[in-house]
Structure 1
Amino acid sequence: MSEHIIKATGRNVEGKGASRRLRRAASIPAIVYGGAAAPQPIQLEHEKTWLASQNEWFYSSILSLDIDGKVQKVLLRDMQRHPFKQIIMHLDFQRVDENQALKAAVPLHFINEDKSPAGKSADVVVMHELNEVTVSCLPKDLPEFIEIDLAALKVGDIVHLSELKLPKGVEIPELKLGKEHDVAVVTAKHGREEAEAPAEGESADVPAAKVAKKDDEK
């Protein structure tokens, strides 16, 4: 697992006014919380943090947060963005205890779809029902992503949550809640099945055009 270092500095002044001044100075107000230590207000340089935020690992990996030369292991737990500008408004980081299991959302990477029987068929639609999954593990076991090999995927196949190949020490808590939580991750259907599915509010037996025609005849 790669080490991802994020630079930050501590800050003593809090409040909305202080946060606005930080943003005008191209910095991001943030907070670090969790563990035995008290919550700590910090600030990060916007440009470098924005570039880091364009990477998948920023959201799913354990980060080495360097605060004034002292490194803490953290997970990003919340990011507030500006509604339409490319500006990060605030970040929340949670401290990580290396001896305590954590829960985190991990991205799914789908490989070999184009080599599969379903992927090679022009009239088959392969749907990725999930793009990430929440796992539980010790920090040292947290994967940056989980790979799903679709090389053998055929039309009609469904890949369920329980079929994912997880790294050692990693589990999916949702699967402990019952069979109904073993949801589909990938499905492969004929394209015409998608097209023939009735839209919400329409009858599956009577086309909308015919219904309209009948109404006109009244």
Structure 2
Amino acid sequence: MKVVAFKRELQGSGASRRLRISGQTPGIVYGGTEAPMNITLDHNALYHALKKEVFHSSILDLEIDGKVQQVLLRDFQVHAYKQLVLHADFQRIDASTKIHMKVALHFANADVSPAVKLHGATISHVLNEIEVSCLPKDLPEFVTVDLSNIDVGHSLHIGEVTLPAGVTIVAHGANQTVATASVPAGHVSAEAAAAAPAAAADAKPAAKAKK
């Protein structure tokens, strides 16, 4: 994705306030061998870009006064109740240096898992994103979590998540829970519902024999 910005000369809260009134958002780009640079961005373009998941976990082409450099969105601040982006921080990247980045988890195949298909269980997502380490070229837009084998009463852990080539997880432990499967209270599983009539039919002859 491409982001267009302009070098910002004026600084301070008063200058930033005037920028926001004029439809601009102040920001900064830092990192690498160059000095940090204060920038301004078009507010509406930035506001809509922030709604896209890919904008938060992709290498961005930041163009400043005609010069393009690759960056990551590292932070942004929004107004407490207005639809207003107050500030954005971007970090320059080096193609040969690994980066740490949080990427979203996309959950797939829950509907064909034993937990859901056989037991009508609910799968709860404990984590919605993970931090990964990789070279910039290997940074995934998201990581897919395959739930096809999860069964009721079991959990899927971070060590079981399949990662793209060149990507490793930065985590506190391989046993960190990603998702769990449990049957809601009062819910009868498909197996139990099918077994109930058979059990009742077996009980009737036994009762007659006793008489």
Q: TM-score range by the shorter chain?
A: 0.7 to 0.9
Distance 1:126 1:51 in 2: 31
Which residue, out of 88, 112, 117, partners 1:120?
117
Q: Summarize deviations over 1:99-120 as a string: whole Å, max 9, x none.
A: 1011000100001212222233
- 1:107 aligns with 104
SS at match of 1:192: coil
Distance 1:157 1:147 in 2: 19
1:40 aligns with 2:33: no
- 1:152 aligns with 149
Gaps of 5+ in 2: 187-211
1:183 aligns with 2:180: no
Q: Does the CA-based 8 Å contact 2:99-2:134 persist in structure 1?
A: yes
Distance 2:169 2:114 in 1: 29
- 1:215 aligns with none
The structure number with the bigger radius of gyration is: 2
- Residues 91-102 of structure 1 mapped to structure 2, 5 A cutoff: 91-102=88-99
Which residue, out of 10, 18, 27, partners 1:30?
27
Q: CA RMSD in A?
A: 1.5
- Residues 44-63 of structure 1 mapped to structure 2, 5 A cutoff: 44-63=41-60
Structure 1 letter corresponding to 2:148: A
- Sort the Cα spacing of 1:173 and 1:27 in 2 relative to 1 into closer, same or farther, 3 A: same
Q: Identity of counterpart residues, as a percentage? A: 48
Structure 1 letter corresponding to 2:58: S
SS at match of 1:126: strand
Distance 1:108 1:81 in 2: 24
Which residue, out of 73, 81, 85, partners 1:84?
81
Task: After the TM superposition, list the runs of 4 or more consecutive aligned residues in structure 1 that deviate by more than 6 angstroms.
Answer: none
Distance 1:122 1:60 in 2: 36
Q: Greater shift after overlay, 93-102 or 150-159?
A: 150-159
Q: Summarize deviations over 1:133-180 as a string: whole Å, max 9, x none.
A: 000011011101000121222212211101111111111132xx5x5x
C-alpha deviation, 1:122, in angstroms: 6.7
Aligned length: 186
Structure 2 letter corresponding to 1:187: T
Structure 1 length normalisation: TM-score? Answer: 0.81
